[in-house]
Amino acid sequence: MQELLSSIYLFLKSGHVIFMVFWLAGLFMLPRQCIYMLDHEPGSAGEAKWATRMGKLRSIILTPAMLIVWVLGLTMAWSGGWLSEGWLHAKLALVLGLTGYHGWLVGQTKKMARGERPLTEKQLRMIGEVPGLLLIVIVLLVYLKPF
Ligand code: HEM
Protein backbone atom coordinates (compact mmCIF):
# COMPACT_ATOMS: atom_id res chain seq x y z
CA MET A 1 0.00 0.00 0.00
CA GLN A 2 2.79 2.45 1.01
CA GLU A 3 4.59 1.67 -2.26
CA LEU A 4 1.47 2.35 -4.33
CA LEU A 5 0.85 5.65 -2.49
CA SER A 6 4.49 6.72 -3.01
CA SER A 7 4.20 6.08 -6.74
CA ILE A 8 1.12 8.33 -7.03
CA TYR A 9 2.21 10.82 -4.34
CA LEU A 10 2.58 13.80 -6.69
CA PHE A 11 -0.92 13.19 -8.10
CA LEU A 12 -2.31 13.12 -4.56
CA LYS A 13 -0.52 16.37 -3.77
CA SER A 14 -1.74 18.02 -6.98
CA GLY A 15 -5.32 16.98 -6.19
CA HIS A 16 -4.90 18.26 -2.62
CA VAL A 17 -3.78 21.70 -3.81
CA ILE A 18 -6.42 21.92 -6.61
CA PHE A 19 -9.33 21.09 -4.29
CA MET A 20 -7.87 23.29 -1.53
CA VAL A 21 -8.14 26.21 -4.01
CA PHE A 22 -11.78 25.26 -4.84
CA TRP A 23 -12.61 25.00 -1.11
CA LEU A 24 -11.01 28.34 -0.24
CA ALA A 25 -12.57 30.04 -3.28
CA GLY A 26 -15.99 28.87 -2.04
CA LEU A 27 -15.23 30.11 1.48
CA PHE A 28 -14.26 33.52 0.06
CA MET A 29 -17.45 33.68 -2.04
CA LEU A 30 -20.02 32.64 0.57
CA PRO A 31 -19.83 35.73 2.88
CA ARG A 32 -19.91 37.91 -0.26
CA GLN A 33 -23.13 36.17 -1.38
CA CYS A 34 -24.56 36.80 2.12
CA ILE A 35 -23.80 40.51 1.67
CA TYR A 36 -25.65 40.54 -1.68
CA MET A 37 -28.61 38.79 -0.02
CA LEU A 38 -28.84 41.57 2.59
CA ASP A 39 -30.07 43.90 -0.20
CA HIS A 40 -33.25 41.80 -0.49
CA GLU A 41 -36.27 41.72 1.81
CA PRO A 42 -37.01 38.45 3.68
CA GLY A 43 -39.46 36.39 1.62
CA SER A 44 -38.69 38.26 -1.64
CA ALA A 45 -37.82 36.73 -5.02
CA GLY A 46 -34.32 38.25 -4.74
CA GLU A 47 -33.72 36.45 -1.44
CA ALA A 48 -34.87 33.15 -2.97
CA LYS A 49 -32.45 33.62 -5.89
CA TRP A 50 -29.46 34.13 -3.58
CA ALA A 51 -30.58 31.23 -1.38
CA THR A 52 -30.51 28.97 -4.46
CA ARG A 53 -27.04 30.24 -5.46
CA MET A 54 -25.70 29.64 -1.96
CA GLY A 55 -27.18 26.15 -1.88
CA LYS A 56 -25.47 25.32 -5.19
CA LEU A 57 -22.14 26.74 -4.02
CA ARG A 58 -22.39 24.56 -0.89
CA SER A 59 -23.39 21.32 -2.56
CA ILE A 60 -21.39 21.55 -5.81
CA ILE A 61 -18.15 23.16 -4.59
CA LEU A 62 -17.74 23.70 -0.86
CA THR A 63 -18.68 20.37 0.69
CA PRO A 64 -17.13 18.04 -1.95
CA ALA A 65 -13.90 20.11 -2.09
CA MET A 66 -13.55 20.09 1.71
CA LEU A 67 -14.03 16.31 1.89
CA ILE A 68 -11.49 15.68 -0.91
CA VAL A 69 -8.89 17.99 0.74
CA TRP A 70 -9.28 16.07 4.02
CA VAL A 71 -9.05 12.62 2.42
CA LEU A 72 -6.01 13.47 0.25
CA GLY A 73 -4.30 15.40 3.08
CA LEU A 74 -4.65 12.55 5.58
CA THR A 75 -3.58 10.00 2.96
CA MET A 76 -0.41 12.01 2.21
CA ALA A 77 0.30 12.52 5.92
CA TRP A 78 0.13 8.76 6.46
CA SER A 79 2.09 7.95 3.32
CA GLY A 80 4.83 10.50 4.15
CA GLY A 81 5.17 9.32 7.77
CA TRP A 82 4.30 12.82 9.13
CA LEU A 83 1.48 11.80 11.46
CA SER A 84 3.58 12.41 14.60
CA GLU A 85 5.15 15.71 13.47
CA GLY A 86 4.43 19.03 15.18
CA TRP A 87 3.89 21.07 12.01
CA LEU A 88 1.17 18.62 10.91
CA HIS A 89 -0.55 18.77 14.32
CA ALA A 90 -0.51 22.59 14.18
CA LYS A 91 -1.82 22.47 10.61
CA LEU A 92 -4.57 20.00 11.58
CA ALA A 93 -5.65 22.31 14.43
CA LEU A 94 -5.94 25.21 11.97
CA VAL A 95 -7.71 23.09 9.35
CA LEU A 96 -10.16 21.91 12.02
CA GLY A 97 -10.75 25.61 12.75
CA LEU A 98 -11.32 26.23 9.03
CA THR A 99 -13.74 23.28 8.88
CA GLY A 100 -15.60 24.64 11.93
CA TYR A 101 -15.79 28.07 10.28
CA HIS A 102 -17.16 26.39 7.13
CA GLY A 103 -19.89 24.63 9.15
CA TRP A 104 -20.78 27.78 11.08
CA LEU A 105 -21.01 29.84 7.87
CA VAL A 106 -23.25 27.23 6.22
CA GLY A 107 -25.51 27.50 9.31
CA GLN A 108 -25.68 31.30 8.85
CA THR A 109 -26.61 30.96 5.16
CA LYS A 110 -29.41 28.51 6.05
CA LYS A 111 -30.77 30.99 8.61
CA MET A 112 -30.63 33.75 5.98
CA ALA A 113 -32.49 31.56 3.48
CA ARG A 114 -35.27 31.27 6.13
CA GLY A 115 -35.56 35.08 6.26
CA GLU A 116 -33.33 35.68 9.31
CA ARG A 117 -30.54 38.27 9.17
CA PRO A 118 -28.09 37.14 11.90
CA LEU A 119 -25.11 39.18 10.66
CA THR A 120 -24.60 42.76 9.49
CA GLU A 121 -22.68 43.70 6.35
CA LYS A 122 -19.74 44.89 8.46
CA GLN A 123 -19.61 41.60 10.40
CA LEU A 124 -19.77 39.63 7.14
CA ARG A 125 -16.90 41.67 5.69
CA MET A 126 -14.82 41.03 8.80
CA ILE A 127 -15.48 37.30 9.06
CA GLY A 128 -14.79 37.02 5.31
CA GLU A 129 -11.11 37.61 6.15
CA VAL A 130 -10.86 34.48 8.36
CA PRO A 131 -10.08 31.92 5.60
CA GLY A 132 -7.37 34.14 4.09
CA LEU A 133 -5.61 34.54 7.44
CA LEU A 134 -5.78 30.79 8.14
CA LEU A 135 -4.51 30.07 4.61
CA ILE A 136 -1.38 32.19 5.21
CA VAL A 137 -0.42 30.33 8.40
CA ILE A 138 -1.30 26.88 6.97
CA VAL A 139 0.83 27.43 3.84
CA LEU A 140 3.78 28.65 5.96
CA LEU A 141 3.50 25.56 8.16
CA VAL A 142 3.47 23.20 5.16
CA TYR A 143 6.45 24.77 3.38
CA LEU A 144 8.65 25.70 6.36
CA LYS A 145 7.76 22.69 8.56
CA PRO A 146 9.23 24.72 11.47
CA PHE A 147 8.72 21.99 14.11
C1 HEM B 1 -7.60 18.62 5.77
C2 HEM B 1 -6.50 18.26 6.38
C3 HEM B 1 -5.14 18.39 5.73
C4 HEM B 1 -4.12 17.52 5.89
C5 HEM B 1 -4.11 16.27 6.73
C6 HEM B 1 -3.02 18.01 5.08
C7 HEM B 1 -1.80 17.40 4.93
C8 HEM B 1 -0.86 17.72 3.99
C9 HEM B 1 0.35 16.98 3.70
C10 HEM B 1 0.79 15.74 4.43
C11 HEM B 1 0.99 17.60 2.68
C12 HEM B 1 2.27 17.16 1.99
C13 HEM B 1 3.44 17.94 2.51
C14 HEM B 1 4.69 17.67 1.69
O15 HEM B 1 4.66 16.91 0.68
O16 HEM B 1 5.74 18.23 2.08
C17 HEM B 1 0.18 18.76 2.30
C18 HEM B 1 0.50 19.64 1.29
C19 HEM B 1 -0.09 20.86 1.15
N20 HEM B 1 -1.17 21.33 1.86
FE21 HEM B 1 -2.33 20.25 3.13
N22 HEM B 1 -3.42 19.18 4.47
C23 HEM B 1 -4.70 19.46 4.85
C24 HEM B 1 -5.43 20.58 4.47
C25 HEM B 1 -4.88 21.67 3.83
C26 HEM B 1 -5.49 22.97 3.70
C27 HEM B 1 -6.87 23.33 4.25
C28 HEM B 1 -4.64 23.77 3.02
C29 HEM B 1 -4.75 25.20 2.65
C30 HEM B 1 -5.58 26.04 3.24
C31 HEM B 1 -3.49 22.98 2.68
C32 HEM B 1 -2.41 23.44 1.96
C33 HEM B 1 -1.41 22.62 1.48
C34 HEM B 1 -0.46 23.01 0.46
C35 HEM B 1 -0.36 24.36 -0.23
C36 HEM B 1 0.36 21.89 0.25
C37 HEM B 1 1.43 21.75 -0.83
C38 HEM B 1 2.84 21.80 -0.33
C39 HEM B 1 3.81 21.51 -1.48
O40 HEM B 1 3.68 22.11 -2.58
O41 HEM B 1 4.70 20.72 -1.27
N42 HEM B 1 -3.66 21.72 3.20
N43 HEM B 1 -0.93 18.80 3.12
Would you list the domain boundaries of the chain? 2-144
Counting atoms of ligand 1 from 1, which one is nearest the CA of 69?
A: 1
Give distance in angstroms: CA of 29 to centre of ligand 1: 22
Q: Residue 67 pLDDT more than 90?
A: yes
**Structure confidence by residue, pLDDT tens digits, 79-117:** 999 999 999 999 999 999 999 999 999 999 999 999 999
Helices 130-144/86-113 angle, 10° precision: 160
Q: Residue 2 pLDDT more than 90?
A: no
- Give the whole-angstrom CA distance, residue 77 versus residue 102: 22
31-36 average pLDDT score: 98
Q: Residue 123 pLDDT more than 90?
A: yes
Counting atoms of ligand 1 from 1, which one is nearest the CA of 98?
A: 27
Burial of residue 45 (CB within 10 Å: 0-12, 13-18, 19+) is exposed
pLDDT band, very low/low/confident/very high, at 1 (cuts 50, 70, 90):
confident
Give distance in angstroms: CA of 16 to centre of ligand 1: 7
Q: Residue 139 pLDDT more than 90?
A: yes
142 lines ligand 1 (CB under 6 A): yes
Q: What is the 3-state secondary structure (H, E, C) of 84-98?
A: CCHHHHHHHHHHHHH
Q: Indicate the pTM of the whole model.
A: 0.94
Q: Residue 120 pLDDT more than 90?
A: yes
Residue nearest to atom 30 of ligand 1 (CA): 135
Look at residue 39 and give its three-state secondary structure.
coil
